[in-house]
Amino acid sequence: MSVLVVTGTGTEVGKTVVTAAVAALARAEGRRVAVVKPAQTGVGPGEAGDVDEVVRLAPGVTAVEVVRYPEPLAPATASVRCGAEPLDVRRVAGAVRELERDHDLVLVEGAGGLLVRLNPQGRTLADVAVALSAPVLVVARPDLGTLNATALTAEALRARGLVPAGVVVGAWPERPDLATRCNLTDLPTMGAGDLVGAVPEGSGRSAAREFAEVARRSLAPALGGVWDAGRARNGG
């Protein structure tokens, strides 16, 4: 796998921290890693965006932000409101292919969920994944309601012939309630692949060295870590 698309079941689910965790483990293996953000919204000129956060948590990663829009809106709406040229899926795919030449892994982090529109023509992160023939890692919430959102995301992936790379819980709470604990069993049955990690809530506040260990303990062997879903379900 040289390209991995990372999407969420919605906004604020922990995509950036999960992307950073995958990057940190790949870097620990000596792999050359790049992260691409097709559209960064809600960030002004000179302010740090999601790719900057990935670099802070996983030093040594190459960061590319394709376009930036200042208002915190869906990219299609944000581009129209600021009068910017719409984002073309081919431009994103071209940036990724260029990075593939001298990187072992390129991570593509979406904005919001899989079908959030990137441009007024209705293109989405799913179209980017199709253009790249890349597997898609789904980052989900831990709590009540996450099963439906994950199932809908999985259905959208399958409808486009995309391969799910599994589900990661983006912000696992310190004190999970009953529904949250049960979701560890139910999430793998939603069609988006195996449960391949649960990153503790607040992990993004860690320093890089501490975060590398958090990533190792929070992601499954499929992503380079040691996290075990069965042990987690039993409270381990």
Annotated catalytic residues are 37
Residue 208 half-sphere exposure, CB side, CA atoms within 13 Å?
14
Residue of 92, 108, 84, 134 whose CA lies nearest to 34? 108
Q: Tokens 């890349």 belong to which residue?
A: 134
Q: Tokens 């890089």 belong to which residue?
A: 208
Q: How far apart are CA 152 and CA 160, in angstroms?
A: 13
Beta-strand ranges (E) seen in 44-132 are 62-69, 105-113
Strand partners, 34: 62, 106
